[in-house]
Amino acid sequence: MIRRTFLAISVAALAGPLSAWAGPLTVDGNLADWGISTGDQGSSCTATAVSANPGVMSACTGTSYAGLLGTLGGDLVGFNLEDSNDWRNDYLVGPNYGGQNYDGEFLGVARQGNTLYIAIQTGQRPDNAFNQFAPGDISIDVKSGNTVIANAYGVEVGGGPGGAAGAGSISAGAAGSTYVLDSNGYTKGYRGSDGATSGNLIDPTGQVSANPAAGQTAGSLWKDAIWYLDPITTPNPPGRQETQLLGGTLAGLVDAFVFTRNAVGGQHAIIELAIDLALFGGDQVVGLHWRPSCGNDTLDVTFNPQQRVPEPAVLSLLAMGLVGLRSSRRRRPARTVAAQEPPPA
């Protein structure tokens, strides 16, 4: 079994104002302005090698996150980093198996002024879903008054019916999507907000019976979100996970949005967006989540919206336990997965 490292910053444990000194963020599908250099690892870093020596996991990704804290400084609200092998498709990504095609590698949240920036790096590209694996949408937890409401808002990320290897990225306004899954989490049908359909449209779970609303386009933000639950029941975390946005009340469109395919390296996609906090109507954002539609992997960030990750001068506190480091994930039942998509020619 592959042992992976989960890293999260506990921003609620840090008191006092922190200045923001990072440069302006740009939503362009390149995370260099986050201090992240995306790339593919060498093929010599195999799953077998990592199993034998979990300590080499940090060298088993071609992406460097070394500049993350120093680049964004006090603008960084929180992040979840759990990157692993870029070239294998037969290991636990958590909570289920799937490898790079399902791997959620990084979820970061930053705030500049009244704009919330979200960046996701994943091995799951937007247009290779049909009959294999489909992207999920972004769910957002908010605090309304004194009540925290989980998955209250959702952002549609789009995604195609598949079979379009090498296609370009998805931008704001592109067709939204929902996918019909079988009991093993494989994509069997596609419905688009533009009326397009493909494959088997009979959902065995009974959750998807119509196309998304015309306004459910990529980059749209929905309040009182209605969620598709993936068909896989997972023992830990318990139950089924919210993965696909099925509708709700349209709150508005994000300021900028992009979902790339192989934009940097051959094994990575980037989802990046900027949201005007006014769209939340006074609700405070306290958490974000992203996962594939089958729920094989999950990226979760929770935070106090009034506090941020410390600047480098404060990072010495990390040694005092303000960073939680967990270096194992419990084994889950194995699943049959599709073959890894090869890198582009």
Q: List the beta bridge partners of residue 288.
A: 140, 301
Residue 307 tokens read as 């506090």
Question: Of 107-116, 261-270, 311-320, which range is least confident?
Answer: 311-320
Is the pLDDT at 341 greater than 50? The verdict is no
CB 134 within 8 A of CB 159: yes
Between residues 185 and 320, the one the model is more confident about: 185
DSSP character at residue 104 = E
Average pLDDT (24-34) is 94
Query: Does the residue 130 lie in any domain?
Result: yes
Contact (Cβ atoms closer than 8 angstroms) between residue 42 and residue 61: no
pLDDT, tens only, 30-50:
999 999 988 777 554 554 554
| Confidence (pLDDT) at 48 | 54
C-alpha span between 123 and 100 (Å, rounded): 5
In the chain, the percentage of residues whose pLDDT exceeds 90 is 40
Average pLDDT over residues 71-84: 85
Are the C-beta atoms of 107 and 82 separated by less than 8 Å? Answer: no
pLDDT for 283 = 96
The answer to whether 112 and 83 are in contact (CB under 8 A) is no
Q: Is residue 15 part of a domain?
A: yes
Question: Which of the four pLDDT bands, split at 50, 70 and 90, describes residue 101?
Answer: confident
Residue 17 pLDDT = 33
Residue 107 has a pLDDT of 95
Let me know if residue 217 belongs to a domain. yes
Type of residue numbered 241: Q
β-sheet bridge partners, residue 181: 187
Has residue 2 got a pLDDT over 60? no
CB atoms within 10 A of CB 223: 18
Band (165; pLDDT cuts 50, 70, 90): low
The DSSP 8-state label assigned to residue 265 in this structure reads S
Domain that holds residue 176: 6-326
More confident residue, 19 or 68: 68
| Degrees, nearest 5: CA angle 116-117-123 | 145
A 10 A CB-CB count for 217 gives: 23
Q: In this structure, is residue 29 part of a structural domain?
A: yes
Select the more confidently predicted residue: 315 or 47.
Answer: 47
Task: Please give the mean pLDDT across all residues of the chain.
Answer: 75
Higher per-residue pLDDT: 194 or 2: 194
User: Does any domain span residue 113?
Assistant: yes
Q: Give the per-residue pLDDT at 330.
A: 35
pLDDT at 82: 78
Q: Is residue 299 part of a domain?
A: yes
pLDDT at 339: 34
Separation CA 93–CA 251 (nearest Å): 33
Domain count, the chain: 1
Give the C-alpha separation, 136 to 133, whole Å.
10
304 confidence band (pLDDT: 50, 70, 90): confident
Please tell me the total number of residues recorded for the chain in this structure.
Answer: 345
Query: CA-to-CA distance for 154 and 112, rounded, in angstroms?
Result: 21
**Closest-CA residue to 81 (of 309, 343, 263):** 309
Q: How far apart are CA 72 and CA 52, in angstroms?
A: 35
Going by pLDDT thresholds of 50, 70 and 90, the confidence category of residue 318 is very low
- CB burial readout 34-54, b (16+ within 10 A) else e: bbbbbebbeeebebeebeeeb
188 vs 27, more confident: 27
Q: Which residue has the higher pLDDT, 327 or 60?
A: 60
Asked if 258 and 170 touch (Cβ cutoff 8 Å), the reply is yes
- Closest by CA position to 190, among listed 267, 135, 233: 135
Higher pLDDT, 319 or 308: 308
Is residue 118 very low, low, confident or very high in pLDDT (cuts 50, 70, 90)?
A: very high
More confident of the two residues 262 and 145? 145
pLDDT for 138 beyond 70: yes
Res 305: pLDDT: 60
* 182 or 147, higher pLDDT: 147
As a whole number of angstroms, the distance between CA 65 and CA 178 comes to 32
Contacts of 239 (CB under 8 A, 6+ apart): 233
What is the average per-residue pLDDT within 7-20?
A: 32
Highest-confidence range of 6-10, 46-50, 125-129, 296-300, by mean pLDDT? 296-300
Q: Is residue 336 part of a domain?
A: no
Cα of first residue to Cα of last residue in the chain, in angstroms, is 31
Phi, psi of 208 (to 5 degrees): -115, 115
Whether 333 maps to a domain, the answer reads: no
